[in-house]
Chains A and B, each alone.
Chain A
Amino acid sequence: MLLSGYDPVMYSRILTGLTLAFHIIFATIGVGVPLMIAIAEWIGIKRNDDHYLLMARRWARGFVITVAVGVVTGTAIGLQLSLLWPTFMRAAGQSIALPLFMETFAFFFEAIFLGIYLYTWERFKKKTTHLLLLIPVVIGSSASACFITIVNAFMNAPAGVTVKDGKIVDISPFGAMLSPAMPTKVSHVLVTAYLTCAFVLAAIAAWSLLRGRNHIYYKKALRLTMMSAFVFILASAVIGDLSGKYLAKYQPEKLAAMEWHFDTTKQAPLVLGGILTEDNEIKYGLEIPFALSILAHGLPNAEVTGLNDIPEDEHPPLYIHYLFDLKMAFVAVMVFIAGAFIFLLYRKRSAAFGNKWMLRGIILAAPLAMMTIEHGWIFSEVGRQPWLLRGIMRTNEGATTSDHVDTMLIVFVLLYAVLAVSSVTVLIRMFRNNRAEDEIAAKGFKGGDE
């Protein structure tokens, strides 16, 4: 690390990155799991199958623990924005206060109904009444993800404002929400959150099956979650392609840095892997002809802006290429695992639930999905450097000048370590001594064979 002496900008960046990286894990679960709970409960009511109702209930039990950590780390990042980036928040307050404000409303809405949902399992005569309570939770959690991503989209591609001498002068509050980055970012965030949660819940079921616990409950859980994962992975592929086209048009420097594309050319090739020498030559990379032009503009002959046409002090760091390639490698593994499961399910059903390698693959997919989320965010945020607000405010202009950011960094590292260890311990303890099959037997639940 190049830290000589106290540099509040660097420490602020590290602390913000740390808080976000930690929060994103819980935020992703917070967005995706309510949807999966709703699907399970809905199927349970529709088929009159207690197994799915129990599934919803067990997922909800674990979900509360993750929500707690998500809420507190979300509060942390909310406050840290002002504490670490006061000058930025002064500008943001002028321009994007609206989505920030709306995010709080969505969160409020979700919090109220989640509290009601968790405590009314046996309160209503009609089972659907309880399910209906989950709709505001799903809407609230997805809407808060949507609004906060709108804030981030504005930082990537400011819209709806007039800039004069580097200062925001004229604002259209709703125009600022409709940044060109908004549609791709919001849809990408939502779909990948759903995808990740489907994989995480699938991994739990696969773990039990791998342990030889062959209850039909786990097979139902695995089928439901993997089918969902398959659908979400198709959706995220489409959106990923749209994101590339967005970058080419609005943030060419990010695309060029991530693909190590230096000279502006037509029929631009896509480079997979490789390493970059000091004089910017690519070694050991795998070149796919035309692919970058297709990714950027949908046509093999399209021209793609290269890094050499962008002022040097606006270049993002070139290592984002590795981040992006690693992310795509994770995606490839996930596609393979989801595809293999669907193939087995329709060709050789027993193997889908019994093959040890299939189950191990599914268990692997969950951390991979979570790491893809982390990589995607790091790539997206680092790729926007040196800007804090692209074209308006540089990162070093937005940071605090306070003392003690370094001490606070240590404090928060400790806090997150403690929270991580305790939440995982509590979650494991919750389910280890209370297995689904025992609960089914104890309560005499019914559920048909498939």
Chain B
Amino acid sequence: MSYELLGITVLWIFLFGYLIVASIDFGAGFFSYYSAVTGKRHLINNIIERYLSPVWEVTNVFLVFFFVGMVGFFPDTAYYYGTALLVPGSVAIVLLAIRGSYYAFNTYGTNKNNRFYMLLYGASGLLIPASLSTVMTISEGGYIEEHAGGRLTFLYGKLFTSTYSWTVVLLALVSVLYISAMFLSYYADRAGDRNAFEVVRKYALAWSGPTILSSLLVFFAIRNHNPVHFERMEHYAWMFVMSFACFLVAVYQVWTRKRLGVGFVFVILQFGFAFFGYGAGHMPYVLYPYLTIYDNFTSEPMAIALISVFILGLLLLIPSLYLLMRLFLFDTKYVQGKRGK
């Protein structure tokens, strides 16, 4: 495997990690607010808070890791995406800032369950996936114009009026809610909290249909927007078929209320197959048609250094993450709220 391919694979895995943990996080924030509005907060608030509190900081790191690694391995992406994304990127930063800080203010401050704070982090949590998904949209090409001399302009009007970009936003929104509700079902089941489970199970089932429908929409929209990419994705058709099969298994588990852990693993597989199928089809372009992974790849010594540090870092991170999960995810007593803080 070439360094380029190795680099982009590592980054893609991290982006996938972010997609899963952030979806759980963002969706939970929204459900937390929604349940307060609909008067069901007392039922599900405990499980949401017990899971989110120890992990909210970690979620952010996945994202930082992705973009720092991207600039490290593919310095030209900083130039193209940096110039193009000033406004959508800044919007994402503001939303992330509001969400992260108001989550902490609400959870650790004395004035718990402040409706306004909850609205801020619930609503921003839904808008973040939408704003981050513009990066995916832009990577398909057609929204950046390169002039003579290397000056770039970002075509805002085109982005806002394109069907493709809206289908991606839609997919981002509904899959966040779906992933989160599927996870919370599993977590509530582990906690033995039947009341919470019944609430989040309904959320999960309600969002499963729209998730699959919007995935299909994106498929058709790509076909119109970037036929080259669509054709390449057809080579990996089996991955999308697998993704759909995993979706069926996951929904079946939640529907029958059985083995929800396995169900959530299938949710991860469902998105994993789709995400890596999409990514593989996208290769070798990082930004169609300007930038491939082979343009201005970082120097060989830097690539080797980054990969070595990455492996050393993983040796440190994996046991730590395992410890975090052991203590808060798989510790039945903690999950059931029987342990003091």
Contacts and interface: CB of A to CB of B under 8 A. Distances in A.
A89 B78 contact: yes
A408 B100 contact: no
B216 interface: no
A76 B92 CA distance: 9
A41 B198 CA distance: 43
B326 to A, nearest CB: 10
Interface stretch (B50-58, B164-172, B268-276): B50-58
Interface string A29-65: 0000000000000000000000000000000010011
Given A82-B78, A122-B340, A64 B85 contact: no
Given A68-B104, A94-B299, A75 B54 contact: no
Interface string A405-421: 10110011001000100
B278 to A, nearest CB: 23
A101 B307 CA distance: 10
B58 A419 contact: no
B302 A112 contact: no
A68 B101 CA distance: 5
A163 interface: no
A108 B60 CA distance: 9
B314 to A, nearest CB: 9
Interface stretch (B27-35, B62-70, B220-228, B258-266): B62-70
A284 interface: no
Contacts of A76: 93, 96-97
A227 to B, nearest CB: 29
Contact of B57 (A71, A405, A433): A71
A131 interface: no
Contacts of A111: 57-58, 60-61
B183 interface: no
Interface stretch (B106-114, B174-182, B207-215, B231-239): B106-114
Nearest to B102: A422
A14 to B, nearest CB: 14
B101 A112 contact: no
A90 interface: yes
A343 interface: no
Contacts of B219: none
A86 interface: yes
A75 B57 CA distance: 11
Contact of A423 (B64, B105, B302): B105
A336 interface: no
Interface string B60-89: 110111011101111110111111111101
Contacts of A407: 87
Given A174-B305, A408-B87, A89 B104 contact: no
Given A78-B68, A415-B94, A122 B317 contact: no
A198 B114 CA distance: 32
A123 B302 contact: no
A107 B64 contact: yes
A89 B298 contact: no
A72 B100 contact: yes
B90 interface: yes
Nearest to A118: B54
A87 B97 contact: no
Interface residues on A, range: 35 or more
Given A89-B71, A123-B339, A429-B110, A116 B76 contact: no
Interface in B125-181: 151-152, 154
Interface in A66-87: 67-69, 71-76, 78-80, 82-87
Nearest to A95: B302
B58 A112 contact: yes
**Most chain A Cβ neighbours within 10 Å, of B60, B93, B103, B316:** B93
Contacts of A75: 60, 63-64, 93, 96-97, 100
Contact of B79 (A65, A89, A171, A405): A89
Interface in A378-394: none
Contacts of A71: 57, 60, 100
B95 to A, nearest CB: 10
A74 to B, nearest CB: 8
B340 A64 contact: no
Contacts of B85: 83
Contacts of B96: 72, 75-76
A401 B151 contact: yes
Contacts of B57: 67, 71, 111, 114-115
A92 interface: yes
Contact of A108 (B55, B65, B323, B340): B65
B313 interface: yes
A308 interface: no
A351 interface: no
A171 B299 contact: yes
B89 A83 contact: yes
Interface in A93-118: 93-95, 97-98, 100-105, 107-109, 111-116, 118
A277 B5 CA distance: 60
A68 B108 CA distance: 10
A94 B75 contact: yes
B154 A104 contact: no
B324 interface: yes
14 contacts: A76-B96, A79-B89, A82-B67, A83-B86, A86-B80, A86-B83, A98-B305, A105-B316, A107-B61, A112-B321, A114-B57, A120-B341, A171-B302, A404-B87
Q: What 10 pairs between A and B have smallest CB-CB spacing?
A: A93-B75, A97-B72, A68-B104, A86-B82, A89-B78, A173-B305, A82-B82, A115-B54, A111-B57, A72-B97
Given A101-B310, A109-B317, 15 more contacts: A64-B104, A82-B78, A89-B75, A94-B75, A98-B309, A100-B72, A115-B55, A115-B58, A119-B327, A123-B340, A170-B299, A407-B87, A419-B101, A422-B102, A430-B109
Interface of B: 53-58, 60-61, 63-65, 67-69, 71-76, 78-87, 89-90, 92-94, 96-98, 100-105, 108-111, 151-152, 154, 296, 298-299, 301-302, 305-306, 309-310, 313, 316-317, 320-321, 323-324, 327-328, 339-341
Interface of A: 61, 64-65, 67-69, 71-76, 78-80, 82-87, 89-95, 97-98, 100-105, 107-109, 111-116, 118-123, 136, 170-174, 400-405, 407-408, 411-412, 415, 419, 422-423, 426, 429-430, 433-434
